[in-house]
């Protein structure tokens, strides 16, 4: 009898990966430029004399780890989804304008000195989020108006919008006052920082909701990768499914980008890595990419804050440097295998 992916098998894989992620996060929580001991942390915040280990663990490391995990999961899932919708293994979450849209939103917020806050997020976060969504909506409209060949139109619209907005960003950067410019450029490089708990909670809810939504349509994503005609022949409403997938992916990416800037590489490499390890079935890809994306970014952030001691690197540098060779090794090792690890 043929074997297909069952709920039981998938749950097993998810649980194993989650357990590995939990262990990894525990280890990374104890690694940093200041050495802390778990027993001291457990003693609590301390009354008259603040417990440094506790403050560092709960106030700095945990929020950073959680943010890294959330952003990693969001970017990885968005990457998987866009690669499926666009039928293009080189797609990443930023390809359809989110990156330049978020950047433009952020720059406008900084230059205009806007001070809207929403749900406790800073004006920058809010404007980057709105910028990302507005741009993606623009790209979708332009791409679908163009008609029949939706995928090509979307790609072209994304490229054009990205190019145009990047030029606007460069211009605005050149006329802004110096301290503001350098800040925004730095933000665009991508950074994991300590966010307040309520923001982490809200983001977690949004990102998890998006990932679950993507999981719900994941079997239709499998069909979409065969092309519009084939998918329709198998009963998929391609326009609706593409729009849903696009919306979820754009939403979680916008949340991630508004919190941590543009962290590259995660959305491109993790989908491929998970595909190499587990196969291209999106019912597996979505949840497992989320978990492995989290793990990747948690490790990258830990390296970014410890590798050069006091000098803290932006996490985007680590993802790029570490991601490249890692992927090459994986490709060489597994491309010779005929059957997948199931």
Partner 1 sequence: MSNIVNVKNLTFGYNTQPILKDLAFELPRARFMAIAGPNGAGKTTLLNLLCALLRPKAGSIEIDKKNIKSYPARKLAQKIAVVRQEFVPVFDFTVTEVVSMARSPYLGTFGFEGKTDRQFVQEALKLTDTAQFASRPLAELSGGERQRVFIARALAQNTPILLLDEPTTFLDLKHQVDIFDLLKQLQLEKNKTIIAITHDINLTIQYADIALLLQGPPSCDYQYGGTTDVFSTEQIERVFKAKTAEVSIGGKNFYLPLGKFTGDNQHITRNLTEPQQ
Partner 2 sequence: MKRPWIISAIALICVAVFLITFYSNHNHEKTLQIPPARPGRIVSLAPNLTEIVFALGLDDKIVAASSDSDYPAQAALKEKVGTFWQPNTEAIIAAKPDLVLTLAFEQQKTVAETLKRLRINVLTLKIEKIDELLAAIRQIGTATGKLEPADKLVADITEQMNNLKLKLAPAQKPKVLWVIQTEPLRVAGRNTFVNELIQLAGGENAISPTIQQYPSLGSEELLVSAPHVIIQSAMGQDNLPDQQLSAEAFWTKWPTLPAVKNKKIYVINPDTVLRLGPRFADGIELIAQHLHPDIFAESLDAGSQLER
- Binders of partner 1 among residues 238 to 297 (CB under 8 A) are 275, 279-281, 283
By C-beta, is 89 or 196 nearer to partner 1? Answer: 89
DSSP 8-state secondary structure symbol assigned to residue 58: I
Binding site for partner 2 (CB under 8 A): 32-34, 50, 52, 55-56, 59-61, 63, 110, 119-120, 122, 124, 174-183, 186-187, 193-194, 196-198, 201-202, 205-206, 209, 305, 310-312, 314
User: CA Rg, the chain, in Å?
Assistant: 21
What separation in angstroms does the CA of 6 have from each of 116, 221, 251, 283?
47, 17, 29, 10
Interaction between residue 92 and partner 1 (CB under 8 A): no
Shortest separation between residue 273's beta carbon and partner 1, angstroms:
14
Shortest separation between residue 2's beta carbon and partner 1, angstroms:
5
DSSP bridge pairs for 118: 121
Shortest separation between residue 238's beta carbon and partner 1, angstroms:
8
By C-beta, is 194 or 237 nearer to partner 1? Answer: 237
For residue 314, how far is the Cα from the chain centroid?
16
Contacted by 119, from partner 2, partner 1, none: CB < 5 to 8 Å by type: partner 2
Contacted by 279, from partner 1, partner 2, none: CB < 5 to 8 Å by type: partner 1
What separation in angstroms does the CA of 255 have from each of 64, 105, 135, 265, 280?
16, 13, 14, 17, 26
State the helix-helix crossing angle for 315-334 and 266-278, rounded to 10 degrees: 30
State the helix-helix crossing angle for 266-278 and 62-85, rounded to 10 degrees: 70
Distance between CA atoms of residues 298 and 68, nearest Å? 5
Shortest separation between residue 269's beta carbon and partner 1, angstroms:
16
Rule CB under 8 A: which residues touch partner 1? Answer: 1-7, 87-89, 215-216, 218-220, 222-223, 225-227, 229-230, 232-237, 275, 279-281, 283, 338-340
């Amino acid at each position: 009898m043929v074997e297909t992916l069952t709920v039981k098998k998938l749950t097993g894989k998810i649980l194993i990966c989650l357990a590995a992620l939990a262990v990894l996060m525990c280890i990374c929580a104890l690694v940093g430029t200041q050495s802390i001991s778990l027993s001291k942390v457990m003693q609590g915040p301390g009354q008259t004399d603040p417990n440094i280990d506790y403050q560092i663990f709960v106030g700095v490391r945990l929020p950073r780890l959680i943010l890294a995990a959330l952003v990693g999961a969001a970017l990885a899932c968005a990457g998987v989804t866009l690669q499926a919708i666009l039928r293009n293994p080189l797609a990443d979450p930023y390809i359809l304008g989110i990156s330049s849209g978020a950047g433009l939103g952020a720059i406008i917020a900084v230059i205009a000195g806007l001070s809207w806050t929403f749900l406790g997020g800073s004006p920058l976060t809010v404007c980057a989020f709105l910028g990302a969504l507005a741009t993606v909506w623009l790209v979708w409209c332009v791409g679908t108006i163009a008609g029949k060949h939706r995928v090509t139109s979307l790609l072209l619209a994304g490229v054009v919008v990205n190019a145009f907005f990047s030029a606007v960003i460069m211009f605005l950067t050149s006329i802004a006052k110096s301290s503001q410019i350098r800040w925004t450029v730095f933000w665009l490089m991508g950074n994991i920082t300590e966010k307040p708990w309520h923001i982490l909670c809200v983001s977690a809810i949004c990102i998890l909701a998006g990932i679950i939504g993507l999981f719900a349509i994941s079997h239709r994503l499998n069909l979409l990768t065969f092309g519009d005609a084939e998918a329709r022949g198998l009963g998929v409403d391609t326009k609706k499914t593409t729009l849903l997938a696009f919306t979820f992916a754009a939403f979680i990416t916008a949340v991630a980008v508004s919190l941590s800037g543009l962290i590259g590489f995660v959305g491109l490499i993790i989908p491929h890595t998970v595909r190499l390890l587990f196969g291209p079935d999106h019912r597996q890809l979505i949840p497992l990419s989320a978990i492995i994306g989290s793990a990747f970014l948690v490790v990258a952030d830990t390296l970014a804050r410890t590798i050069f001691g006091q000098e803290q690197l932006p996490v985007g540098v680590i993802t790029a440097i570490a991601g490249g060779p890692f992927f090459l090794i994986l490709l060489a090792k597994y491309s010779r295998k005929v059957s997948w690890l199931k």
